[in-house]
Structure 1
Amino acid sequence: MEELDPLDGEPVSKTKRKQAMQDKQDLGRALVELPPDRLKRLLGKVELSETLSGALLEYQRLPKREAQRRQLQYIGKLMRDVDPEPIQAALDVVNGASAAENAKLHRRERLRTLLLENEAVALADIAAHWPQADLTHLRQLRRSALKEQEQNKPPKSYRAIFQVLKELEEGGAAAATGDDAGEEA
């Protein structure tokens, strides 16, 4: 039975099928070129078969180029049966290419800058969005970050502020998701 194009109901041409397979193999190549820690993080976010996950991890352990080439062909074969969209979305997030991730990053950076410039306004904004936030800890980090800037020291506290904001944002998203699930039940 011939495969039909979902848009127009016509049979899919051989060229389109080959292009789709090549695109999936290229996606597999992008996955194996990730550093091992990023690949493992991505595999935790996307549901893939154990065979495909194992093949991706095995590729990174192979020492020879010819063995890697054969493994990549095998990964391409396994990718034929997989929906590439969730994988591509997760890959974009891991690589930071997602517009949503970029927006979150910029929002955190603006909030951190506001915290350093105007503590009262920033803390009020943080308290409004995340009532569970430890404002005392943020004040301490702010003072330390300003002191580090004055003394030309490495920006340890400056980075810590960003991490705290990231944790608040991710924790708030998880809490909101949990609340929504509770309301539907």
Structure 2
Amino acid sequence: MSKQPDDWLDDVPDNQEEDDEEIIWVSKSEIKRDAEELKRLGAELVELSSNSLDRIPLDEDLRAAIELAQKIKKEGRRRQLQLIGKMLRSRDEDPIRQALDKLKNRHNQQVALFHKLEMLRDRLIAEGDDAMADVLQLYPQADRQQLRSMIRNAQKEKATNKPPKATRQIFQYLRELAEA
């Protein structure tokens, strides 16, 4: 009795068929891409300051490896980055990525706020009292007289080509209002 090509499945136990379906094959290229991505993540961590590293959930071994990489130069640093990438493979990288994204996003939000305050300052200097209403609406705690005085000084400085001391003061004042 010769078996047909599909008859070999009859000899395989049912649970083995299920196990074969659950196996997910990963190519070598995909493994290498993942390893490179973890090395890039490690390099980003090495570039952070000590205060920023405090905000990222790192275990002691990984933190020590990162601090060592920050001190090393050239070829030793490259090898240390590879080690950090290897260490990251055995850890859950999601909390680290989320904390890193949060740090980057916070920086981006601060830059956006500064651009908004610069535009508001420039508008105050150009339009004077017309733009004052918008500032008072945004920041009701603002001192109208102090702001008017700084605007007049900034306009005088601009007209006489003097250094923009009052312009910086307006920006600083707006920033204090925004942070309050």
Is the Cα–Cα contact under 8 Å of residues 31 and 91 in structure 1 kept in the other structure? no
Q: Alpha-carbon deviations, 1:107-165, whole Å to 9, x = none?
A: 22221111112222332222222222334443333233223323323323323322332
The 1:42/1:151 distance shift into structure 2, 3 A limit, reads farther
The residue aligned with 2:15 is none
Q: Name which of 81, 103, 125 aligns with 1:90.
A: 103
For residue 46 of structure 2, the aligned residue among 14, 29, 32 is 32
2:71 pairs with 1:61: yes
Letter in 1 for 2:115: H
CA radius of gyration, larger in: 2
The aligned runs of 1:5-84 (5 Å cut-off) are: 11=24, 13-14=26-27, 15-33=29-47, 39-40=49-50, 42-43=52-53, 46-49=55-58, 51=60, 52-62=62-72, 64-80=73-89, 81=91, 82-83=93-94, 84=97
Query: Distance between the aligned counterparts of 1:92 and 1:29, measured in 2?
Result: 18
Instruction: Flag the 1:18–1:149 CA change in 2: closer, same or farther, 3 A.
Output: same
Separation in 2, partners of 1:61, 1:89: 25
The amino acid across from 1:116 in the alignment is I
Unaligned stretches of 5+ in structure 1? Answer: 1-8, 172-185
- What percent identity do the matched residue pairs reach? 36
Q: Structure 1 residue 111 and structure 2 residue 120: aligned?
A: yes
1:61 deviation in Å?
2.7
Q: What is the distance in 1 between the residues matched to 2:47 and 2:24?
A: 34
1:31 Cα deviation after fit: 4.1
Task: Indicate the SS of the match to 2:56.
Answer: coil
2 CA distance for matches of 1:167 and 1:50? 37
Matching residue of 1:139: 148
Residues 58, 114 of structure 1: CA spacing in aligned structure 2 closer, same or farther, 3 A cutoff?
A: same
Q: How many residues align?
A: 153
TM-score using structure 2 length: 0.63
| Aligned partner letter, 2:69 | Y
Amino acid of the structure 1 residue aligned with 2:103: A
Q: Say whether the 8 Å CA contact 1:27–1:88 is kept in structure 2.
A: no
**TM-score between both structures, scaled by the size of structure 1:** 0.62
Q: What RMSD, in angstroms, separates the aligned Cα atoms of the two structures?
A: 3.2
Which ranges of structure 2 fall in alignment gaps of 5 or more residues?
1-21
User: Aligned partners of 2:85, 2:123: CA distance in 1, in Å?
Assistant: 47
